[in-house]
Structure 1
Amino acid sequence: MAFEELKESTQKVQEETKAYVESTVQYYKLWGFQFIMKSTRTIVKLLLIGFFLLIALLFGSIAASMAIGDALDNMALGFLIVAGGYFLLVLLILFLRLKFVEKYLLRTFSKLFFND
């Protein structure tokens, strides 16, 4: 009698443990899917915004180069001045090493990863 109760109790514990493990696996699958979707959404959004900002910067640079070229009566000089401005910007970025961008990315992705 006691052996049968012990056997039933052991089987019940095994079934509940199996159900717990299955539900835990399902939870982590859903959590992984949610994390991947949030990351993908963020990356796609940033790529789209970056693409349109790049197009706007391109047309703005061409317009500024042409305006400077008209003002100086030398179109090539206008384009060289704008290119030199971008070169100085790249040097500034290299020297500052953009610590604030690294901090922003770390803060954003840590919220994304640890917030749920």
Structure 2
Amino acid sequence: MAFEELKESTRKVQEETKAYVESTVQYYKLWGFQFIMKSTRTIVKLILVGFFLLITFLFGSIAAALAIGDALHSPALGFLIIAGGYFILVLLILFLRLKFIERYILRTFSKLFFKD
């Protein structure tokens, strides 16, 4: 009789262990799916916003260059001034390394990854 109880207890432990492993696997599958979907959504959103910002800056830069060119009576000079402004902006970004941008990106992705 004790052997039957031990056998039954062992079978229950095996079933519960199997159920635990299966539920753990399901949990991590769902967690992975959630993480991938949030990451994908964020990346697609950033790409779309970035694209439209790029188009906005492009047309704004062209308009500014044409306006400066009209004021100076030289369209080429207007485009050179705008290009010089962007060059100075790139140099500032390279030399200052804008740590706050790195911190913002790190915080954003940390919240996304470690939310649960």
TM range (shorter): over 0.9
Q: Which residue of 2 aligns with 1:23?
A: 23
Q: Find the aligned partners of 1:77 and 1:110 in 2 and give their Cα distance.
A: 45
What SS does the aligned partner of 1:115 have?
coil
Q: Give structure 2 stretches of 5+ with no counterpart.
A: none
The structural deviation recorded for 1:98 is: 1.8
Are 1:53 and 2:53 counterparts?
A: yes
Q: Give structure 1 stretches of 5+ with no counterpart.
A: none
Q: Which residue of 1 aligns with 2:99?
A: 99
What SS does the aligned partner of 1:54 have?
helix
TM-score for the superposition, normalised by structure 1: 0.99
What SS does the aligned partner of 1:37 have?
helix
Counterpart of 1:13, as a letter, is V
Deviations 1:58-82 (A, max 9, x none): 0000000000000000010000000
Q: Find the aligned partners of 1:103 and 1:3 in 2 and give their Cα distance.
A: 63
Question: Which segments of structure 1 move beyond 6 Å, counting only runs of 4 or more?
Answer: none
Q: Find the aligned partners of 1:63 and 1:77 in 2 and give their Cα distance.
A: 13
Are 1:43 and 2:33 counterparts?
A: no
Q: Find the aligned partners of 1:48 and 1:75 in 2 and give their Cα distance.
A: 31
TM-score for the superposition, normalised by structure 2: 0.99
The structural deviation recorded for 1:14 is: 0.4
Q: Find the aligned partners of 1:113 and 1:78 in 2 and give their Cα distance.
A: 46
CA RMSD of aligned residues (A): 0.5
The structural deviation recorded for 1:40 is: 0.5
Identity rate of aligned residues, in percent? Answer: 86
The structural deviation recorded for 1:115 is: 1.1
- How many residue pairs get matched? 116
Q: Find the aligned partners of 1:3 and 1:83 in 2 and give their Cα distance.
A: 87
